[in-house]
Amino acid sequence: MKGTAAATAAACTTVVAAPPEANALQRPPKPLPPEAVGLLYDSTLCIGCKACVTACKDVNHMPPEVGPEQQAWNGAPGNPTWDTPVELSAKTLNVIKAYVHGTGATKDAAENGFAFIKRQCLHCADPSCVSVCPVSAMTKDPQSGIVSHNPDACIGCRYCVLSCPFGVPKYDYNDAFGEIKKCQLCKQRLAQNELPGCADVCPTGATLFGRSDELLKEAKRRTALKPGEYTHFPRGDIAGKVGGARSGHEKLVEAAYQTHIYGEKELGGTQCLAVSAVPFDKLNLPTKVPETGYPTLSEGIQHTLYAGMIGPAVVFGGLAYLAHRNTKDHTEE
């Protein structure tokens, strides 16, 4: 696994908040569906085993990924010994990354410590990728809230890639018939009452599945814990329904949680949440973002301009005037 503070900082996504003067044009934000499901990732429980990465590859039939700098030691070309992804890509829908500072001696410490973070689709309440897709290839399920991509409807415009503030959808540029790839929360497994691959195999419960409202309550419970307290950490499905009941474990809280629950408010909220003892800006997650999704502004402006077709009529009138003037000038010459 690679993980340095410099590499983490270099990969950080910069997101610019919507200008305050434009807020009057925003449409109301979309809430999460009442039956929304998602994941809660607890960085303090993660041991960096990457079992979730392997399981995600297995259940979604994704190929191994080896970067150019790894090929010299990672088996023969086309037949790698290890799957070694370092970032989300068209071949990797879920990845564990590391933050390391100074000596890296203490887990879950921002100074001279290290921590892990899980990167995947967050399944936003008001997703930008769905808003910009011109052919509805990106959709959000009205019941589960899962954001899905339909390759049969996709025209390859890659607007979703450009619009996602978390850098999640990826396009396969190495395939002549490349497709957009992103986590779809293993919806094919959920249909069979099976857990998403990552939550199914996590040995510590660092990745926990459940209804988004229940996961948020659990996240708030954890962030209120103090170092030195023993507490119970569930595994699998927090409700014990999907995939069957799993035995959790008791564990000592060793590092103080940040009070910030990532995904609770970011860009209108997300169905996949995260808690950590290390600030999230150090874990390569954008934190300087508004609390409403960007589609509230872009769609609000569009709806205002196109209300009653006033905007297009004004534009057409202006173009007609310019065309008439240019034709008149040309005739006089």
The answer to whether 172 touches 185, Cβ cutoff 8 Å, is no
Token output for 191: 């249909």
Q: Which one is predicted more confidently, 305 or 81?
A: 81
**Which pLDDT score, from 0 to 100, does residue 75 have?**
79
Q: What average pLDDT is seen over the chain?
A: 87
pLDDT one-digit tens code per residue, 142-160 = 999 999 999 999 999 999 9
pLDDT one-digit tens code per residue, 9-27 = 444 444 444 444 446 677 8
**Which pLDDT score, from 0 to 100, does residue 247 have?**
93
Q: Is 174 exposed, middle or buried (0-12, 13-18, 19+ CB in 10 A)?
A: exposed
10 Cβ neighbours under 8 A, 6+ residues apart:
none
Lookup result for tokens 């000596």: 103
Please say if the pLDDT value at position 32 is more than 80: yes
- DSSP structure string for 224-256: T--TT-EEEE--SBTTS-TT-----EEEE--SP
5-293: CATH number: 3.30.70.20
**Which pLDDT score, from 0 to 100, does residue 19 have?**
43
Alpha-helical segments (H) within 135-268: 159-163, 187-190, 197-201, 212-223
Q: At what angle do helices 295-306 and 310-332 cross, to 10 degrees?
A: 60
**Which pLDDT score, from 0 to 100, does residue 218 have?**
98
- Going from N- to C-terminal start, the domains of the chain cover 5-293
**Which pLDDT score, from 0 to 100, does residue 79 have?**
80
Q: Which one is predicted more confidently, 294 or 206?
A: 206
The answer to whether 18 touches 178, Cβ cutoff 8 Å, is no
Kindly report whether the global pTM for this prediction surpasses the value 0.85. Answer: no
The answer to whether 120 touches 263, Cβ cutoff 8 Å, is no
**Which pLDDT score, from 0 to 100, does residue 67 have?**
78
Looking at residues 174-178, what average pLDDT do you find? 86
Q: Is 179 exposed, middle or buried (0-12, 13-18, 19+ CB in 10 A)?
A: middle
CA–CA separation, 317 vs 305, rounded Å? 15
67 Cβ neighbours under 8 A, 6+ residues apart:
84, 85, 86
Q: DSSP secondary-structure letter at 18?
A: P
The answer to whether 202 touches 234, Cβ cutoff 8 Å, is no
CA–CA separation, 55 vs 61, rounded Å? 10
CA–CA separation, 94 vs 62, rounded Å? 11
pLDDT one-digit tens code per residue, 269-294 = 999 999 999 999 999 999 999 999 88
pLDDT one-digit tens code per residue, 210-229 = 999 999 999 999 999 999 99
Token output for 237: 């499905």
